[in-house]
Amino acid sequence: MSTNSQDRVEMFRTMVRIREFEERVKRTFAEHPGVIRGHTHLADGAEASIVGSIAAIRPGDQVMATYRCHGYPIALGTDTTAMLAEIYGRSNGLCGGYGGSMHLADPERGFLGTSGIVGQSIPQATGAAYAAQIRRAGDVVLCFFGDGASKQGAFHESLNIASLWKLPIVFVMENNSYSVSVRVEQEDANAAAGEPLATKAKAYSMPGVTIDGGDPDVVYETVAEAVSRARAGEGPTLVESLVYRLSAHGNSIAPPGVPLHYPEHEAVTVFGDVAEYEAAKRGDPVPRFRGALVTGGVLDAARADAIVAEAADEMQRAVDGALAGPEPEPADALRFVHA
């Protein structure tokens, strides 16, 4: 399976849009202090993995993810103004300001939602795959989570059942080597032994593969194969997608009144490993893919620049639209407690 030139340019466009979106979230802390409350988690560095994965599914398929959830809806076509308005807590937000950054949902586009608790969306995605299996329309579920989640019991229980019931699901583990500020080899027996985390698939009689999550072509090919396997009723696959998160785990955590900001990456702040972080920056998947497309003659530099400019304009409109959005009515806090 491979993508044609047009698809690859569209993948690049989506990667750029995600990056621009996340940059605007980050800049909001400095440019509009107090507008974003609580905690945000950015997808910068994982764009190739997200876009390559979602390029492999079709309408009717579904996606569930973690609290680091801004990238997936963009790739699925969700309106970025509604997303940013949600992160700004406005009533024109995607979820009316009820959820915020960690709880985006867009069921019409197959994005069923997220959990703010590590690992807990894995059984939920598995349940959505059970629903898909018995709906018999050939739909598949993509389940995204991080390396830290693979130490949660929910991971073990869900992968066992998904394999046992041959559910149409692809487990995409974005291994960014850090659980907040803990390095993966500090908490994972496989990593400590120098093994890939995809090794864990062995316990479930399930294929497990480890791939370069910085290359959208590789991600697409791998996930597309797993998706077609799932669609054919052959069961789940564990894809370990190696990525590097280019921002800190999340924005700073502070009591109300203290301005929030994005600290430096934990490689630097916790481990003092500037070289690691600089190397990761040099491997940034967005310029890397641009380079591949330009060198390969798929995209010329001027068009690439235009894509970046268009994305910047779109995200400026999103910021403007989100800032202009009204605050919700306080008493609306009592709506939606029950369906």
Partner 1 sequence: MAREITYIAAIMEGIHQEMSRDEDVLLIGQSVGGSPEDPFVAAFGPDRVRVTPISETAEIGMAAGAALAGKRPVVDCTMAEFLLVAMDQVVNEANRFHYMSGGRVTAPLVLKAGYGFTAGWAGQHTGSIYGMFMGVPGLKVALPSTPADAKGLMATAIRDDNPVLFLHHYLLTLETGDVPEGEHLVPFGQAAIVRPGTDVTLVATGWTVHRALEAAEELAADGVSVEVIDPRTIAPLDVDTVLASVERTGRLVLVDQATRHASVSAIIAAEVAEAGFASLRAPIVQVTALDAPIAYSKPMEDFVLPDVAKIVAGVRRAVDVTLPHDAATAVR
Partner 2 sequence: MTASVHRDVSTAAPTPDVLRDLLTTMWRIRAFEERVGALKRADEVHGLIHLSIGGEGVAAAVCRQLRDGDAVYSGHRAHGHAVAKGTPLDRTMAELMGREGGLCSGMGGSMHLVDVAHGFLGATGVVGGNIPLALGSALAAKQRGTDAVAVVFFGDGAVQAGLFTESVNLATLWRLPVLLVCENNGFAEFTPRSAHTTVERVSDVVAPYPLPRTTVDGNEVGEVWSAFSELLARARAGEGPALLECLTHRLRGHYEGDPDRYREAVSTEDWQRKDPILRLQRAGHDAGWLAADEPAALEAAARAEVDEAVAWARSSPFPAVARAAALVESGGAR
Q: Footprint of partner 1 on this chain (CB under 8 A)?
A: 62, 64, 93-99, 103, 105-107, 112-113, 115, 117, 120-135, 153-154, 157-158, 160-161, 164-165, 335-339
**119 φψ region: left (φ > 0), alpha (ψ -120 to 50), beta (else):** left
Q: What's the rounded Cα separation, in Å, for the pair 137 and 151?
A: 33
Q: Which is nearer to partner 2, 3 or 121 (CB)?
A: 121
Least distance (Å) from partner 2 to the CB of residue 82? 35
Residue type for 142, please? L
SS (H, E, C) 157-202: HHHHHHHHCCCCEEEEEEECCEECCEEHHHHCHHHHCCCCHHHHHH
316 binds, among partner 2, partner 1, none (CB under 5 to 8 A by kind): none
Least distance (Å) from partner 2 to the CB of residue 121? 14
DSSP state of 45: T
SS (H, E, C) 288-331: HHHHHHHHCCCCCHHHHHHHHHHHHHHHHHHHHHHHHCCCCCHH
Decide if 47 contacts 71 (C-beta within 8 A).
Answer: yes
Q: Which is nearer to partner 1, 44 or 106 (CB)?
A: 106
Least distance (Å) from partner 2 to the CB of residue 139? 23
Least distance (Å) from partner 2 to the CB of residue 41? 23
Cα-trace Rg, the chain: 19
Interface ranges with partner 2 (CB under 8 A): 151-157, 160, 163-164, 187-190, 192-193, 195, 199-205
338 binds, among partner 2, partner 1, none (CB under 5 to 8 A by kind): partner 1
Please name the residues in contact with 154: beta carbons below 8 A apart, sequence gap of 6 or more: 119, 120, 122, 123
Q: Which is nearer to partner 1, 142 or 304 (CB)?
A: 142
Tell me the angle at which helices 153-164 and 121-135 cross, rounded to the nearest 10 degrees.
10
Residue type for 99, please? G
Least distance (Å) from partner 1 to the CB of residue 249? 20
Q: Which is nearer to partner 1, 123 or 207 (CB)?
A: 123
Q: What's the rounded Cα separation, in Å, for the pair 319 and 106?
A: 20
Q: Which is nearer to partner 2, 72 or 204 (CB)?
A: 204
Q: Which is nearer to partner 1, 126 or 251 (CB)?
A: 126
Q: What's the rounded Cα separation, in Å, for the pair 143 and 126?
A: 8
271 binds, among partner 2, partner 1, none (CB under 5 to 8 A by kind): none
Least distance (Å) from partner 1 to the CB of residue 115? 6
62 binds, among partner 1, partner 2, none (CB under 5 to 8 A by kind): partner 1
Least distance (Å) from partner 1 to the CB of residue 46? 22
Tell which residue, 121, 181, 185, has the closest CA to residue 149. Answer: 121
64 binds, among partner 1, partner 2, none (CB under 5 to 8 A by kind): partner 1
94 binds, among partner 2, partner 1, none (CB under 5 to 8 A by kind): partner 1
**116 φψ region: left (φ > 0), alpha (ψ -120 to 50), beta (else):** alpha
Please name the residues in contact with 287: beta carbons below 8 A apart, sequence gap of 6 or more: none
Least distance (Å) from partner 2 to the CB of residue 166? 9
Q: Which is nearer to partner 1, 39 or 103 (CB)?
A: 103
How many CB atoms within 10 Å of residue 105? 19
275 binds, among partner 1, partner 2, none (CB under 5 to 8 A by kind): none
189 binds, among partner 2, partner 1, none (CB under 5 to 8 A by kind): partner 2
